[in-house]
Structure 1
Amino acid sequence: MDESSDPEFSGGVEVKERVVNKKFIAAALGNWLEWYDFGVYAALADLLGQHFFPDHDASVQVMQSFLAFAAGYISRPVGGILIGIIGDRLGRKCALWTSILLMMFPTFFIGCLPTYQTAGWLSTILLVILRLLQGIAIGGEYVSALVFSMEHAPGQNKTISGALMSVSVAVGTFSGFGVVVLMRHALSAEAMASIGWRICFWLGLVVGIVGIFLRRQVADPREFIDAQQAGQLSQPIWAALWTHFPDVLLMIGVEAITPVTWYQNFIWIQQVYEGTLTSAPPMPGGAELNTFMQLAPSLFMVGIAACRSDFNFLTSVRRGMALLAALAVPAYLLFDLRVFWAAFLSQSFLAIGGGLIAWGNPYLMHSSFPVDIRVMAMGISYNLSAALLGGPTPYICSQLVVHFGVLSASIWLLFIASLSYTCVCLLLRRQGRQVAANSDGLQSVIPRRIGNAA
């Protein structure tokens, strides 16, 4: 059965309106919560360093705080596997339920933790444990939500659906940073250090409750149900995954640019603006600029959706990677000037590269794996790249800046952009794929080997 014959997708409703429905919102709210927490944690890195890490050097405290930030990535591959198995065998809806429950409670309890001053190292250990639990949830949340929303979307609209799910990531991070900025302006420094930072984490519970309510009311995608009824899910999942293992390895490299770009250029860069890693004074307006610029890639993607909804996703991904590689050094030369206009230009150009990647990357992942292993294969690829390369990015960049200056951080971005570009070319060559238009006019990747197998 094709989704186009489902009553939900029939009628005269415009394609773009169908995407923004209850199912998409239910999936996106979990992403919002995930990235809201990450935005809050990164924006509060200085206070968390003071409360949970006993060092008198502010720059060392920030780096230790980012190490705890990276701890959440260690367990992400575990979550990708466990929730991936749930999603590929028990259903996409079941995976979404599991991930949001595992995410909302650790986020709330971080706001309840005692500080190092009152509980010693126990507070630090508890923070790391909660970050590990969050990592398990996050390991399945984004991919499960992505697969769920794209499988529900009509064929000609899957690229837009995947891109809009990436927008929910940006909105969540923006919300996290925005809440922290508003709290810092509304409260005194003493109040922010005592209770304000806790409130920022507690607010995530509200979104989690709304997300659970909405996810109760949605069903599994027709594509998954048809595969289940046809017996496609009866093959042992590890045997099915092994067939596509080389694709998974290459996809790890392809995915690396996504978390590195986001964390380096729109989260970690906040520390450069604040001057916590160097002896330079804070850049006026830096916190407000960085908070606003986190929406820039999303605004760019929305512009593509409005003007060129048929924009080739492969062209988008490769151009974005090439642009980031070309702009890495010039962007950080501008950052090093520590003036508002230079920082604005730098983040604007980097946002274009990130937006191009975020537009096409979800559908590239989705189209690379079959329905019976899609959640797990995408989860392993996405989360291993995040754990091995994305999570350590704030710490690596902090070390580079402390020892060699702001410009040295560009080396990491240039390396990852080049790696991802190479891997996407190797992935397409290995699979023998070509860009073609299907019967609906969708620009998609069609395996040549399918025709041979038929």
Structure 2
Amino acid sequence: MTTSTTATHADKKTELTVDDITVIDSKLLKRAVGAAALGNTMEWFDFGVYSYLAVIIGKVFFPDASSTAQLIASFGTFAAAFLVRPIGGMVFGPLGDRFGRQKVLAFTMIMMSVGTFCIGLIPDYESIGIMAPILLLVARLVQGFSTGGEYGGAATFIAEYSTDKRRGFMGSFLEFGTLGGYLLGATLVTAMIALLPAQAMLDWGWRIPFFLAAPLGLFGLYIRLKLEETPAFKDHMDKQDALEHARPRLGLLPMLNKYKKQLLKCIGLVLVFNVSNYMLTSYMPSYLTGVLGLSELTGLLLVMVVMFVMMPLTLLWGHWTDRIGRRPVIGLGALGLVLFAIPCFMLIGSGNMLAVFGGLVVLGVLHTCFSGTMPATLPALFVTDIRYSALAIGFNLSVSLFGGTTPLVTAWLVDTTQNVMMPAYYMMGAGAIGLITVFTLRETARKPLSGSSPAVATHAEAHKLIDKLRKQRHKKQPVPQMSAR
């Protein structure tokens, strides 16, 4: 069981006791992390499939366009889903803060699965004409709407279930699931391209990965329905129930106004995180084949190998941020983009396979500085009663404006300017914004979440924490002075 008791006193200045500390059951924590990461795996399975099938999807749904226009149209449909993500965040975030994280995450899992599965059912352009790309767009909008409540909820869920000392490591499993889902989708598409004739892939093969969303979604839904609500949320609701007059919930606009500084920090962090992410995972396969002229299979395999390298590094950074802090790691990644984006793209553009791989690996390593830290850093920006709402809105607004549009914007920039270095300049700008944002952050590693009680792994650790706090308090107390009469 997860032991979580709240203070019976209303005075916040009263000394903290063992009963005020949340003790997290390790088995429930592992289940919570796995269930939350599974949703991200499902989401990025779709992204991996769509990114690696972008050229084929362009041919199926936009057959009359040129190859470049097909790719841009395919990425345009991909990017359109990001326009509704903030709307999804505005809907699912407040629901998660009101009714619980677990219930909303179960519902978003259903919507994601349905949207992905339906893409595989859509007839091609030759069969139903203009309705084909319209239905593709509708399915992507359903995916985008559901995803608007997914990442913010999953990050909140893991952060609120984790102990203060290991929140970075546990949170990094969310992005481990991201890379795993992407890799699963990419591996499946690559294997099919290698095994199936090109015409068979174009006729029906591309549909198979989307059909797999149904069993994956059902399994994820089953796991999430078995979870308990997070200790932090239950404590918050218990405190609300204990008050004679519960604090009124902030409306959307008052919340945005009250927490605008935290939201701006969230947007800045998500910008550098997701520009790096979508550049590497969504745009790079098409860049390698369509712009640099590598074979399709070679480009796919190179990015997949880099994903393998990134997976353990993401967990390693998550572990180390619990020791050295979140800010140094994020700052290192942002500075690295500013300094090494151009050299990396020069290596990638050289045509030498070893140099191409080296450039991709450096970009991948820099990205893990973000993927290993953001799931723990972002939820810590906000207090418990608005955490899901604020994170869902801030995250999705930034992703919609800057992250998800990265493949479309960079493809357009390269085509317009005929400068293959445009992606590097784009990443440098994102890195500069990330650096500026890092300087405004306070360190949150090994500290309780805002508005939540300390969270530890054992009752013994709770007693040690109380003893430590008492010693610190006694050291800070001033020596009593005799009053002069």
Q: Say which SS state the counterpart of residue 149 (structure 2) adopts.
A: helix
Equivalent residue, structure 2, for 1:89:
98
Equivalent residue, structure 1, for 2:31:
22
Equivalent residue, structure 1, for 2:362:
349
In 1: Cα distance, 2:331 partner to 2:28 partner: 28
Q: Say which SS state the counterpart of residue 118 (structure 1) adopts.
A: helix
Q: Call closer, same or farther: CA 1:384–1:222 in 2, change over 3 Å.
A: same
Q: Where does structure 2 lack aligned partners over 5 or more consecutive residues?
A: 7-17, 241-245, 448-453, 462-472, 474-485
Note the alpha carbon deviations across 1:69-101, whole angstroms, 9 max, x for none: 001100000111111011111100111012111
Note the alpha carbon deviations across 1:412-444, whole angstroms, 9 max, x for none: 11111111221232x33xxxx456865979xxx
Equivalent residue, structure 2, for 1:444:
none
In 2: Cα distance, 1:435 partner to 1:363 partner: 9
Equivalent residue, structure 1, for 2:236:
227
Equivalent residue, structure 2, for 1:447:
none
Amino acid at match of 1:202: F
Aligned-pair CA distance for 1:36: 0.4
Whether the 8 Å CA contact 1:254–1:423 is kept in 2: the answer is yes
Whether the 8 Å CA contact 2:345–2:359 is kept in 1: the answer is yes
In 2: Cα distance, 1:374 partner to 1:155 partner: 17
Amino acid at match of 1:249: L
In 2: Cα distance, 1:24 partner to 1:409 partner: 34
Q: Call closer, same or farther: CA 1:2–1:334 in 2, change over 3 Å.
A: farther
Q: Call closer, same or farther: CA 1:233–1:117 in 2, change over 3 Å.
A: farther
Whether the 8 Å CA contact 2:327–2:438 is kept in 1: the answer is no
The alignment status of 1:294 with 2:307, answered yes or no, reads yes
Note the alpha carbon deviations across 1:386-435, whole angstroms, 9 max, x for none: 1001121111111222232322221111111111221232x33xxxx456
Structure 2-normalised TM-score? 0.83
1:257 to 272, 276, 296: 272
Aligned-pair CA distance for 1:264: 0.8
The alignment status of 1:407 with 2:425, answered yes or no, reads no
Amino acid at match of 1:376: S
Aligned-pair CA distance for 1:202: 0.6
Aligned-pair CA distance for 1:305: 5.1
Equivalent residue, structure 2, for 1:338:
351
Amino acid at match of 2:67: A
Amino acid at match of 1:235: R
Amino acid at match of 1:89: R
Aligned-pair CA distance for 1:111: 0.3
In 2: Cα distance, 1:60 partner to 1:354 partner: 29
Note the alpha carbon deviations across 1:171-222, whole angstroms, 9 max, x for none: 1111111110011112111111111110011112111010011111111111
Equivalent residue, structure 1, for 2:219:
210
In 2: Cα distance, 1:52 partner to 1:236 partner: 44
Q: Say which SS state the counterpart of residue 295 (structure 1) adopts.
A: helix
The alignment status of 1:268 with 2:260, answered yes or no, reads no
Q: Call closer, same or farther: CA 1:344–1:171 in 2, change over 3 Å.
A: same
Equivalent residue, structure 1, for 2:375:
362
Equivalent residue, structure 2, for 1:186:
195
Whether the 8 Å CA contact 1:44–1:180 is kept in 2: the answer is yes
Whether the 8 Å CA contact 1:106–1:131 is kept in 2: the answer is yes
Q: Call closer, same or farther: CA 1:233–1:172 in 2, change over 3 Å.
A: farther
In 2: Cα distance, 1:407 partner to 1:346 partner: 13
Q: Where does structure 1 lack aligned partners over 5 or more consecutive residues?
A: 442-450
Equivalent residue, structure 1, for 2:83:
74
Whether the 8 Å CA contact 2:321–2:445 is kept in 1: the answer is no
Whether the 8 Å CA contact 1:283–1:340 is kept in 2: the answer is no
Count matched residues: 429
In 2: Cα distance, 1:114 partner to 1:216 partner: 34
Whether the 8 Å CA contact 1:63–1:395 is kept in 2: the answer is yes
The alignment status of 1:44 with 2:53, answered yes or no, reads yes
In 2: Cα distance, 1:177 partner to 1:247 partner: 35
CA RMSD after TM alignment: 2.4
In 2: Cα distance, 1:339 partner to 1:283 partner: 16
Equivalent residue, structure 2, for 1:416:
430
In 2: Cα distance, 1:73 partner to 1:409 partner: 20
Amino acid at match of 1:375: Y
Q: Say which SS state the counterpart of residue 285 (structure 1) adopts.
A: helix
Q: Call closer, same or farther: CA 1:434–1:177 in 2, change over 3 Å.
A: closer
Equivalent residue, structure 2, for 1:311:
324
Whether the 8 Å CA contact 1:317–1:358 is kept in 2: the answer is no
2:260 to 238, 241, 245: 245
Range that drifts further, 297-306 or 37-46: 297-306
Aligned-pair CA distance for 1:298: 2.2
The alignment status of 1:395 with 2:404, answered yes or no, reads no
Q: Say which SS state the counterpart of residue 313 (structure 2) adopts.
A: helix
In 2: Cα distance, 1:198 partner to 1:158 partner: 38
In 1: Cα distance, 2:375 partner to 2:54 partner: 29
Whether the 8 Å CA contact 1:29–1:207 is kept in 2: the answer is no
Range that drifts further, 39-48 or 361-370: 361-370
Equivalent residue, structure 2, for 1:325:
338
